[in-house]
Structure 1
Amino acid sequence: MENSRPKPTVLVVDDVPTVRESLAIALEDAGFEVASAGNGREALDLLGQREFDVLVTDMWMPEMDGLRLLKEIRGTRPKMRVFGVTGGGPRLTIETMSSLAEVWGAERVFLKPFDDDELIAAILAPRPAKGA
């Protein structure tokens, strides 16, 4: 029965509270169970406590950015899907950060501001085949 399946779980990581809350609301409205963290360190703490189906992480954050978070979890959570979001940052261009995020396991990086529906559609879409 379709309704008896557990809701997919998503961890949203962003240092801007309004962005984090907006994403969480959109994902909850789409039927996901959502937890959130303000940076990569908080995300690692949550990831140590439970499993998530999907990680949506900002790439530029204090303490631990999204790229470092991806490096930390790569290999330990092969089934978790990862999506990045970025509005740019101080050290690398958006293009460079997006490329690095994909190298470290992000399926796609969305540039802020982005349409929540696009992110939700990407999460709901089947995982792309490796090398596709």
Structure 2
Amino acid sequence: MASVMIVDDDAAVRALLRQILEDEGHRVSEAGNGREGVDRFSHEPHDIIITDMLMPEKDGVEVIMELREKFSGVKIIAISGGGRGLDAAFNLKVAKDFGAFATLAKPFSRQEVLDAVGQLLADG
């Protein structure tokens, strides 16, 4: 199974993702904002990182850009429910443009999460 880092400022979203992933045997760690996520990932890289797009400290675009610069092969899943006057589809398109491998719009299903993680793991 994989090690997955969840970066989201919403504790409920982190808890939901943790439960979904741990139920499938993945190891999970969490960060409550983008700055914390990048710092933790830099010290302990994971197989996959799931990042929200709108967060304090560093937003998802900054997280994606910084991690892709430092770890070119990092596998990133971006998630968004919209906000700040932008819809989720726009945020997720931007995430793809900056290097996210997969995107999920909130609310997402358990199966959508597992499919995205499974696809990234299958792609090697």
Q: Same-fold call, TM > 0.5? A: yes
1:112 is the counterpart of 2:120: no
CA RMSD of aligned residues (A): 1.5
How many residue pairs match? The answer is: 122
Residues 53 and 79, structure 1, Cα contact 8 Å, conserved in 2: no
CA contact 2:77–2:103 (8 Å) conserved in 1: yes
Partner of 1:101: 95
Quick one: which of 63, 68, 72 aligns to 1:74? Answer: 68
User: Percent identity, aligned pairs only?
Assistant: 34
- 1:44-87 deviations in Å (ceiling 9; x for gaps): 11112111100101111111111111111113212221101100
Q: For structure 2, which runs of at least 5 residues remain unmatched after alignment? A: none
1:11–1:52 Cα contact (<8 Å) kept: yes
Name the counterpart of 1:3: none
Per the alignment, residue 50 of structure 2 pairs with 56
TM-score normalized by the length of structure 2: 0.90
Displaced runs of 4+ in structure 1, greater than 3 A? none
Larger Rg: 1
Query: AA paired with 1:10?
Result: V
Q: Distance in 2 between matches of 1:35 and 1:88?
A: 24
CA contact (8 A) 2:89 2:105 kept: no
Q: How far apart, in 1, do the equivalents of 2:114 and 2:77 lie?
A: 10
- Between structures 1 and 2, the one with greater helix share: 2
Unaligned runs of 5+ in 1: 1-6
